[in-house]
Chains A and B, each alone.
Chain A
Amino acid sequence: MVEIQSIARSNVMDQLFSDARHRKLQKGQILIYEGDPINNLFLIADGYVKVYNIQSDGSTRIIFIYGPDDMFPMTSFLSGAGIGRYFYECMTDVQLKIMPQEKFQQALRDRIEIGEALIGYAIDINNQFLGRIEVLSVSSARRKVVALLQYLIERASFSKGNEHSYLKVPLTAQDIADMCGLTRETVSAQMLKLKKDGVISGSKTLTIDNQKLSRL
């Protein structure tokens, strides 16, 4: 069922972005700043984009990761405010399809079947955002890191068989700290424990033992 929905979504995205312009961006480039008006919608052809905000102490908090076939910022575009709620920055080199919002509006007009797919997609993404925000409010450092690994398996990994997942995005301890709302030192200590327990292996490109993770 998920497969069918995913294929249907992919077809919808292809239709909507059929004559969009293409652009290549380098790792570290910021696409949208918090508070920016949403003038364009983006479809990722390749690479990963992180979504984050700045905390009152100046630290960054990564809320979400978009990957291939993801479209953003749908919820900001379709919300009443119509402005970016977060920063969107390339985590890797990224290839994008870009569509001005006026053109997107024209493409959507009178096309209820595309609208249906978009509503489903946008609300699914919104629920995933809410899930991430909920995890960030958990007080246990271990619980946060475990929940993050589960999230990364879902959003940015590939598997060979069911035993292991391999993360496609290279992550530093600071990236993981920013995604958990923890200090780098706490993350390093937690990651070391998980390595000793055989849950994860590798350094920048992590390998995760799915069964051991699910038992935690």
Chain B
Amino acid sequence: MKTTEKFEIFINPGGFIEQRFVGSQNPESVRTAIERLIKQSEKLSSKKGRVLILVDITNISNIDVSGKMSETRGEIVEAMRQAEYDRIAIYGDLAGQVMVNTLVLIAGRRRKIRVFEDRIGALKWLKSKA
């Protein structure tokens, strides 16, 4: 992880993309994370069928609801609409779940993106058949 990055992204041996956010986020760190995620999903979709993504937001230290992050939240909504993927499972604490789920509803992607309290629940849905 580079010092400017506040996330890790890698291909899980299970064949899906895994992204883990760490610490307090800012517009730049989120933007970089989205770009990297889109690149990985494009790479994976060109190779084989389903693109599955697991996102861990449990270690984001606080959810910034200020106007400073408004534009970034808009970019997340746009990425949810534009990116190539079959399913995204996101897990984290209650505040994180609330924020992500609201963005999912705005993007109209509730069937493809789901939010969970824990990793097990997220993995179970991610790997289940459509």
Contacts and interface: CB of A to CB of B under 8 A. Distances in A.
Interface of A: 74-75, 78-81, 105, 108-112, 115-116, 118-120, 122-124, 126-127
A119 B117 contact: no
Contacts of A119: 65, 73, 98-99, 102
Contact of B108 (A109, A116, A122, A124): A109
Interface string B112-125: 00111100010000
Interface residues of B, number: 24
A110 to B, nearest CB: 7
7 contacts: A78-B101, A80-B101, A108-B105, A110-B106, A112-B77, A112-B106, A126-B98
A110 B77 CA distance: 9
Given A109-B108, A123-B98, A115 B103 contact: yes
B29 interface: no
B95 interface: yes
Nearest to B89: A80
Contacts, number: 64
Given A80-B121, A109-B108, A123-B65, A116 B73 contact: yes
A78 B91 CA distance: 13
A74 B98 contact: yes
B106 A75 contact: no
A116 B74 CA distance: 10
Contact of B102 (A80, A122, A126): A122
A31 to B, nearest CB: 20
B95 A112 contact: no
Interface of B: 63, 65, 70, 73-74, 77, 91, 94-95, 97-99, 101-103, 105-106, 108, 110, 114-117, 121
Nearest to A79: B97
Nearest to A121: B65
Contacts of A110: 106, 108
A108 B108 CA distance: 9
Contacts of A79: 94, 97-98, 101, 115, 117
Given A112-B74, A120-B65, A126-B95, A78 B106 contact: no
A127 B108 CA distance: 27
A122 B73 contact: no
Nearest to A125: B98
Contacts of B106: 108-112, 115
B115 A80 contact: yes
Question: Of A108, A124, A127, which is in contact with the most chain B CB atoms at under 10 Å from its CB?
Answer: A108
A120 B74 CA distance: 15
A124 to B, nearest CB: 8
Nearest to A114: B106
Contact of B91 (A80, A116, A126): A80
Question: Of B97, B105, B108, B116, which is in contact with the most chain A CB atoms at under 10 Å from its CB?
Answer: B105
A80 B110 CA distance: 11
